[in-house]
Chains A and B, each alone.
Chain A
Amino acid sequence: KAGVTQTPRYLIKTRGQQVTLSCSPISGHRSVSWYQQTPGQGLQFLFEYFSETQRNKGNFPGRFSGRQFSNSRSEMNVSTLELGDSALYLCASSSTGNEQFFGPGTRLTVL
């Protein structure tokens, strides 16, 4: 069974731009969660989607948004990028909301 995939793996943007990251969950998993990882803050929860509905949201500004499609693939979007948005963005999928399986991440650098 293929694991969680994320695209692109690396991204360089400049301040003020917007970016879209994609996550394909393990086949059959309907729950997708997104996390931001930085050296200072560690791993922080962004949002969770289940069956195309946002189920939970972390404490991030409205510039961070996401969605989930009918095939369970998910995208997250960050608008008006700031230097502090530079991070590793990880998504995880789950079938029962129990064990979470993570993808390789997208490394975003904002210049």
Chain B
Amino acid sequence: KQEVTQIPAALSVPEGENLVLNCSFTDSAIYNLQWFRQDPGKGLTSLLLIQSSQREQTSGRLNASLDKSSGRSTLYIAASQPGDSATYLCAVPSGNTPLVFGKGTRLSVIA
């Protein structure tokens, strides 16, 4: 059974810092991994989708990497801003489940 873990559960950084969020998964037989952002009480916004054949995907200040063999993905946020404050979730498809989610990392960027 696929399990997704995100560390840390919460993170607080000053504005302007570069930061890394971690995601690990137990079954490496995935065909993609998706990172989402969720603001309080809102839906999920897709940030990046990495196919299993890719090692990295970039969008603006965001860069996500995928290492299938070790069951890990990281989301790198450059030059963080207060508007980046949100919960970040990673998810992978598994068996009959379109997406299995981690519990998320709650990020606070302090001005």
Contacts and interface: CB of A to CB of B under 8 A. Distances in A.
Interface string B68-106: 000000000000000000000101010011111111100
Main SS at interface, chain A: strand
A48 interface: yes
A43 interface: yes
Contact of A105 (B42, B91, B98): B42
B99 A45 contact: yes
B43 A45 contact: no
A56 B97 contact: yes
B41 A90 contact: no
A43 B101 contact: yes
Nearest to A31: B98
A104 B43 CA distance: 4
A42 B101 contact: yes
Interface in B37-82: 41-46, 49
18 contacts: A33-B98, A33-B99, A43-B89, A43-B99, A45-B99, A48-B98, A56-B98, A58-B97, A88-B41, A92-B98, A97-B98, A98-B32, A98-B49, A99-B32, A99-B46, A99-B49, A102-B45, A105-B43
Interface of A: 4, 6, 31, 33, 35, 42-43, 45, 48, 55-58, 88, 90, 92, 94, 97-105, 107
